Structure 1
């Protein structure tokens, strides 16, 4: 099996685990979901190699691939946990094999109308508790060498960032309509230091409120590439804005030549603008 094949198998497991959690009325933590998926499809020697930051290659590939599930509208990621949508539940029925699911994600195939929700029996595979512990061991071993543990990073920032990232209003400036926090969740999260992409809970993707202009700002350096992102308000995907400030809209997308870039979010328009400086 190639690295790509193994990642595809784990993505199928992720969706099945999420479906099981939904049927059990649980919102599983992202780290637990990934750990269980890795327990079911263990890393190969190549996938266990540590990348910069001490994260195994297979873990980075998997977290990056979960963004495809989010973009397909099959799951959401929030501070309280990961959740599978009704469309995602139906996807487990419409695309029951790894090949079918992979093809649907690659081609952007919609779940056929009239697809039924899965039966309770889908929950059985996720009931394996012992492998989950083994997966946690596998993932946390290499993470002990890193400055930011791979499994614990998402949980800690979420608990303390929402209020601390909002700058105190300056005298004479009214901010009563501003949210508590704004984050840019996209496929550059891991580049900025987040454990995974499309995670609005990490410190690295939090914007700060400029007390004078009333705009939210995030300045960072990004390597050359094409990027997608959305603005997530108050730490939850329940309120997010895409291109042109549309609620739950299409992703913002831009090509970057590399270097510094400053993102500006205006809560009045719900839109994000950019100012780029070539490196």
Structure 2
């Protein structure tokens, strides 16, 4: 079992790649939430990792989402609008670097895959396929699960100011809502139009049952859609139409608050 935060993160990255390989053999393209949830199920968060950041996201989930950029940069996986998938080189990497340590070292040092490693045409090894995570399972739910006794004993104690704050549960609301558009990079995201990233998530206002996000943007015209549960499987465009035309924001520059109402599926600006 992984013994520290770095080891656990490396094990989860291996689980992400393994899960994507399983999905490919099954002819599936899972969304980001399902991929990440399965990795966390295999290597659960400890108490510290499960604690929530100011945006309501478990710190371990944010670390894992950020770390998957290494897999994409290596050319081993693709983060697409339709879901995440493993590449041929990703399958070759699992053959060339079959252990967590070997895979982590290859990622860290940029080790090329040996030329004589062929793309497998069927699952390799005796690895048991992990139980597929339900489509609606997310890291938020994983954060509510108790950590193992060993993990809890090893977890560093978070500062008191960063302890989880009880979040209200509102019926009928999704687990997460993202403003995915052409200004993702301006919000600190690794890419535009990528709803799985933490940087583009909105926050739920319990009093109004609306999702809000204040962004500071340069003057210009921007386009975006509302994406539900970190994927494009459910998304809403102009006038709340499912999969509709992009929302358009003509902005003079400075802060603007985007408000999404899941009852109407539409947005407003203030």
Name the TM-score class by shorter chain. Answer: 0.5 to 0.7
**Residue of structure 2 in register with 1:230 after alignment:** none
Q: Does 1:145 align with 2:167?
A: yes
1:29, distance to aligned residue in structure 2 (A): 0.6
8 A contact 1:39–1:131 mirrored in 2:
no
Paired residues for 1:189-268 under 5 Å: 189=189, 196=197, 210=220
8 A contact 1:74–1:89 mirrored in 2:
yes
**Residue of structure 1 in register with 2:87 after alignment:** 85
1:217, distance to aligned residue in structure 2 (A): 9.7
Q: Take 1:198 and 1:23, find their aligned partners in 2: how far apart are those partners?
A: 31
> Kindly tell me: are residues 13 and 92 of structure 1, through their superposed partners in 2, closer, same or farther at Cα, counting changes over 3 Å?
same
Q: Take 1:64 and 1:76, find their aligned partners in 2: how far apart are those partners?
A: 14
Q: Take 2:126 and 2:166, find their aligned partners in 1: how far apart are those partners?
A: 32
Q: Take 2:83 and 2:113, find their aligned partners in 1: how far apart are those partners?
A: 24
1:153, distance to aligned residue in structure 2 (A): 3.0
Match of 2:13 among 11, 14, 23: 11
Match of 1:94 among 84, 93, 96: 96
Q: Take 1:188 and 1:66, find their aligned partners in 2: how far apart are those partners?
A: 16
1:82 aligned counterpart, secondary structure:
strand
> Kindly tell me: are residues 130 and 88 of structure 1, through their superposed partners in 2, closer, same or farther at Cα, counting changes over 3 Å?
closer
8 A contact 1:94–1:115 mirrored in 2:
yes
**Residue of structure 2 in register with 1:43 after alignment:** 45
**Residue of structure 2 in register with 1:71 after alignment:** 73
1:26, distance to aligned residue in structure 2 (A): 0.9
> Kindly tell me: are residues 86 and 150 of structure 1, through their superposed partners in 2, closer, same or farther at Cα, counting changes over 3 Å?
farther
TM-score scaled by length of structure 2: 0.55
8 A contact 1:10–1:62 mirrored in 2:
yes
Give 5+ residue unaligned stretches, structure 1.
Answer: 162-181, 219-234, 236-259, 262-279
1:66, distance to aligned residue in structure 2 (A): 0.3
Give 5+ residue unaligned stretches, structure 2.
Answer: 146-163, 201-212, 225-231, 233-252, 255-270
> Kindly tell me: are residues 52 and 136 of structure 1, through their superposed partners in 2, closer, same or farther at Cα, counting changes over 3 Å?
closer
Q: Does 1:120 align with 2:123?
A: yes
Ranked by relative contact order (alpha carbons within 8 Å, sequence separation 6 or more), the top structure is 2
1:56, distance to aligned residue in structure 2 (A): 1.0
8 A contact 2:189–2:198 mirrored in 1:
yes
8 A contact 1:55–1:150 mirrored in 2:
no
**Residue of structure 2 in register with 1:188 after alignment:** 188
**Aligned Cα root-mean-square deviation (Å):** 4.4
> Kindly tell me: are residues 144 and 33 of structure 1, through their superposed partners in 2, closer, same or farther at Cα, counting changes over 3 Å?
farther
8 A contact 1:19–1:122 mirrored in 2:
no
Q: Take 2:165 and 2:124, find their aligned partners in 1: how far apart are those partners?
A: 35
1:134, distance to aligned residue in structure 2 (A): 9.1
Match of 2:105 among 103, 123, 131: 103
TM-score scaled by length of structure 1: 0.54
1:49, distance to aligned residue in structure 2 (A): 1.3
